[in-house]
Amino acid sequence: MDESIHISELSEKSIAPDSNNAALAQGVCPKLVSRSQWGALAPVMQDRLQGSAQRAVIHHTALWPCRGPQDCLAQLRHIQKMHMHERDFHDIGYNFLIGGDGTVYEGRGWGVVGAHAKGNNHDSLGIAFMGNFNDETPSPAALSSTKKLLQCGVSLGYLHPAYILLGHRDLAKTECPGNILYEACCRS
């Protein structure tokens, strides 16, 4: 059973009642495509984060560009199957994924430990831009949606107000999230 928290289905145990609706109404939280909407497989199991994430880690999928629903949905399903069947992850590794058109897709969701940066998942949120950003520039819409998603996480208490924004390469020997995306979002 999928126990991840959907922005549209927050429980009273996780935040105050109606605060998500207020955050959406104020434009703090971006609209997102839920796991059920993109046809996610149920996770094998889930671990919950203990408190707010202290860091947000930016990734790229290093796959084909996804600029609309058809491409993005196919890529989401491909990534989840690869993560679960080839890498033996319990679910898709990222908490959220961002399409080139700025659409936000729920991966593991809020408050769930990801599998995106080995040794660093216990206190972080993993956000993957869909595409290869060694070769392409992230769209203004994707960057804007990511900023809103981070603000939303802070507003809802899932991301610490003084969070640290990192690229995957800051935590591991990798090119991820690609040179162009790293310059756009993560370089201090």
Q: What is the CATH number of the domain that holds 128?
A: 3.40.80.10
Give residue 68's pLDDT. 86
Residue 173, pLDDT > 90, answer yes
Please give the mean pLDDT across all residues of the chain: 86
Residue 25 domain-assigned?
Answer: no
Mean pLDDT for 165-182 is 95
* Tokens describing residue 37: 């909407």
pLDDT digits (tens, 9 = 90+) for 15-73: 333 444 555 546 789 989 999 999 999 999 999 999 999 999 999 999 988 888 888 99
Classify residue 80: in a domain, yes or no.
yes
Query: Which residues, listed in sequence order, are joined to residue 72 by a DSSP beta bridge?
Result: none
Please report whether residue 90 resides in a domain. yes
Place 9 in a pLDDT band, splitting at 50, 70 and 90. Answer: very low
- Tell me the C-alpha distance between 74 and 66, whole Å: 9
Q: What is the DSSP letter of 5?
A: B
The number of distinct structural domains making up the chain is: 1
Residue 3 belongs to some domain of the structure: no
pLDDT exceeds cutoff 80 at 10: no
| Whole-number percent of the chain with pLDDT over 70 | 85
CA 112 to CA 123: how far, in whole Å?
Answer: 10
12 within a domain of the structure (yes/no): no
Residue 62 lies in a domain: yes
Give the pLDDT of residue 13.
28
Domain that holds residue 64: 32-40+48-185
Tell me whether residue 24 is in a domain. no
